[in-house]
Amino acid sequence: MDVWGAWQKSVLIEVDQDQARARRVSIYDLVQALRSDNFSLASGSVFEGRQRFYVRSMARYRDLKEIEEVRVGRNRDVRLREIAHITYNVPERFWFQRINGQPAAAIGIFKESDADIVSLCREIVRTLKEDIEKRPAMAGTTGEVFFNQGQQIEQSIAGIEEAAVWGGIFALLVIFFFLRAVRMTLIVTMAIPLCVLITVAYLYFTGWSLNVLTMMGLMLGIGMVVDDAIVIVENIYRMRNEGKEAKLASMEGAGEVGAWPWSSRR
């Protein structure tokens, strides 16, 4: 999560150049001393029975006095308070963030790699409207969502669903126009929802997410299913006209197109 526009206090170290030169302390040595004394380092983990505890080395400054007593210089014989003035305050700002002429702060929230974008965005919006704005400490403040990726995904999926419905309807009309047979048209058309149902069930049980990419792939797959179904039905219809039984014509007609094991049966 990133925050922009908030008034955040910082530790300000104003170095007296004359004092630093007199004690032969360079800015580089000063920065290196502060970095080496203020860090947080992961140190591995410790097992106790079936429990695992993560170990982290913490060497953070707790107050300004500790910073003032930091020894700097090549021989570490100069305390930081002797060459610098240290305060904890809001730094000088050279830019401001406003909405409708009023001071504002922006918050950017980013999801983890395994999180669901749509569910996360819904929960954030609900928390913003129902929890944060109703707190007494937040009286007089309002929250606005400027970029909602979850809403964009929902709109994209809704557009794909609408296109799929209209595509199915037009496919039904086109197939019926060329085949001129209600039964064959229904057989080919029923392949569309059946394949969609099987694919969605597979995605659900394998844990895959239904996003824009999978939806687009599903739409392309439906077109291939319709093409294959038309070819198979036409081949079965041809064999039926040759006098073969319905069961045998169905097996051999589909087998010739799909190269199935029973395609060699005559």
pLDDT digits (tens, 9 = 90+) for 170-193: 878 887 887 777 887 887 778 778
CATH number belonging to the domain at 9-94, selected among 2.50.20.10, 3.40.50.1220, 3.30.2090.10, 3.40.50.300: 3.30.2090.10
Same fold, 9-94 and 149-264: no
Of the candidates 207, 178, 5, 36, the one whose C-alpha atom is nearest the C-alpha of residue 107 is 5
> 16: which DSSP letter?
-
pLDDT at 265: 46
pLDDT at 107: 81
Q: Two tokens at 35?
A: 């970095």
Which amino acid, 123?
Answer: E
> 91: which DSSP letter?
P
Each residue of 208-253: pLDDT tens digit? 777 667 777 777 777 777 777 778 888 888 888 888 888 888 888 7
Of the candidates 265, 199, 189, the one whose C-alpha atom is nearest the C-alpha of residue 233 is 189
Domain topology for 149-264: Multidrug efflux transporter AcrB transmembrane fold (1.20.1640)
> 24: which DSSP letter?
T
| Segments making up each domain of the chain, as ranges | 9-94, 149-264
CB-based contacts of 220, cutoff 8 Å, min separation 6: none
CB-based contacts of 264, cutoff 8 Å, min separation 6: 255
Q: Which residues of the chain have pLDDT under 70?
A: 1, 4-6, 39-41, 211-212, 258-266
Nearest-5° Cα angle at 257, 254 to 259? 90
pLDDT at 248: 84
Q: Two tokens at 147?
A: 């970029």
Continuous H helices in the chain: 17-22, 27-37, 64-68, 117-126, 149-179, 182-206, 212-241, 246-258
Contact at 8 Å (CB) between 104 and 97? yes
> How far apart are the C-alpha atoms of 119 and 122, rounded to whole Å?
5
